[in-house]
């Protein structure tokens, strides 16, 4: 399967600070990037979809000013959680896709806001 | 509206048994039905997937059965092992549109040694 590299795997930050999560597709070019959030013992919930070079499309209820997504290249997308609060603590997972292919997922980032 | 309904929520099976996880979908336009396996603290990993033009697909000990008319599909794990203990998600998508994956709520499977 395709190689997806997501960093960091876990991060702890203080309330009010910002955290950046990187997602790289190492052996294919991702025209589309999906970002998911997963709370404990729950399913993956789509947060936003971004296409390379375009603004991200956010799902209902997801604050675009809080979760900044950049998809500047076909191999790299970033999710920045701005002014993080404890309720933002979650498991964040990226999923790059290209064309008519199966979906691959990053290893996830465990964010804890204290 | 939940587009992909998954059951059961949790499942305990003796080693060697055949756990079965069921899913139902709403959107008849979906053309890609993957199953993902997720271990704690890890991202989901693709286990097996099926397109609606076939009724069954087998890969190793994992089999998907697909019923297009009923809009249902299921995962069977043959000769289950303790190492299969994980959370399993069924999903659906519009593959040709490079569309998002819609996940079921997940099944926490525990295989007893």
What digits encode the pLDDT tens for the residues B29-74?
998 999 999 999 999 999 999 999 999 999 999 999 999 999 999 9
* pLDDT band at residue B98 using 50, 70 and 90 as cut-offs: low
- The verdict on a CB contact (< 8 Å) between A43 and B103 is yes
Quick check: B53 contacting A, CB < 8 Å?
Answer: no
Question: Could you tell me which residues come within 8 angstroms of residue B83 by beta carbon, excluding any fewer than 6 positions away?
Answer: B111
Chain B residues with CB under 8 Å of A49 CB are 100
Distance from the Cα of A100 to chain B's closest Cα (Å) equals 5
pLDDT bin (cut points 50, 70, 90) of residue A72 is confident
Say if residue B7 is exposed, middle or buried (CB neighbours under 10 Å; 0-12, 13-18, 19+): middle
Residues 6 or more apart in contact with residue B65 via CB below 8 angstroms: B55, B56, B73, B74, B76
Q: How confident is the model at residue B97 (pLDDT cuts 50, 70, 90)?
A: low
Interval A4-49: pLDDT, tens: 999 999 999 999 999 999 999 888 888 889 999 999 999 999 999 9
Q: Does position B96 have pLDDT exceeding 90, yes or no?
A: no
Predicted confidence (pLDDT) at residue A55 exceeds the cutoff of 90: no
pLDDT, residue A109, reads 97
- Taking the C-alpha atoms of residue B31 and residue B93, their distance in angstroms, rounded to an integer, is 6
Asked if A72 contacts A17 with a C-beta cutoff of 8 angstroms, the reply is no
CA B94 – CA A55 distance, rounded (Å): 21
- A98 vs B95: CB contact, 8 Å cut-off? no
Residue labelled with tokens 């079921």: B104
Which chain A positions have a beta carbon within 8 Å of B49's beta carbon?
Answer: 102
- R_g of chain A, CA atoms, integer Å: 13
Q: How far is B95 from chain A (nearest CA, A)?
A: 6
Report d(CA B81, CA A42) in Å as an integer.
Answer: 24
Share of chain B above pLDDT 70, in %: 95
Residue B27 has pLDDT above 70, yes or no: yes
Distance CA A38, CA A108 (A): 9
At residue A102 the predicted structure's pLDDT band, cuts being 50, 70 and 90, is confident
The answer to whether the CB atoms of A34 and B101 lie below 8 A apart is yes
Measured between CB atoms, does B107 come within 8 Å of chain A? Answer: no
User: Within a 10 A sphere around the Cβ of A67, how many other Cβ atoms?
Assistant: 20
Instruction: Indicate yes or no: CB of A107 within 8 angstroms of CB of B43.
Output: yes
Per-position DSSP letters for chain B, written without gaps between them: --SEEEE-SEEEEETT---EEEEEES-TT--BEEEEEE-TTS--EEEEEE-TT-SEEEETTEEEEEETTTTEEEEEETT--GGG-EEEEEEEB-GGGTPPPEE---EEEEEE-
Residues of B in contact with A107 (CB under 8 A): 42-43
């Amino acid at each position: 399967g395709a190689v997806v590299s997501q960093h960091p795997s876990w991060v702890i930050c203080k309330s009010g600070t910002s955290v950046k999560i990187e997602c790289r597709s190492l052996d294919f070019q991702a025209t589309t990037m999906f970002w998911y959030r997963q709370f404990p013992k729950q399913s993956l919930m789509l947060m936003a979809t971004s296409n390379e070079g375009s603004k991200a499309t956010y799902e209902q209820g997801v604050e675009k000013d809080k979760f900044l997504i950049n998809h500047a290249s076909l191999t790299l997308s970033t999710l920045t959680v701005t002014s993080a609060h404890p309720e933002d603590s979650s498991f964040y997972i990226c999923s790059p896709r290209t064309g008519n292919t199966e979906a691959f997922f990053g290893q996830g980032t465990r964010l804890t806001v204290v | 509206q939940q587009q992909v309904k998954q059951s059961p929520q949790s499942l305990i099976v003796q080693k060697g048994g055949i756990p079965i996880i069921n899913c139902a979908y709403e959107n008849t336009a979906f053309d890609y039905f993957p199953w993902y396996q997720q271990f704690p603290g890890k991202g989901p990993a693709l286990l097996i997937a099926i397109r609606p033009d076939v009724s069954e697909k087998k890969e190793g000990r994992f089999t998907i059965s697909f019923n297009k008319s009923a809009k249902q599909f299921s995962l069977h794990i043959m000769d289950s092992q303790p190492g299969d203990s994980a959370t399993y998600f069924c999903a659906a998508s519009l593959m040709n549109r490079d569309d998002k994956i819609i996940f079921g709520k997940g099944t926490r499977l525990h295989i007893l040694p």
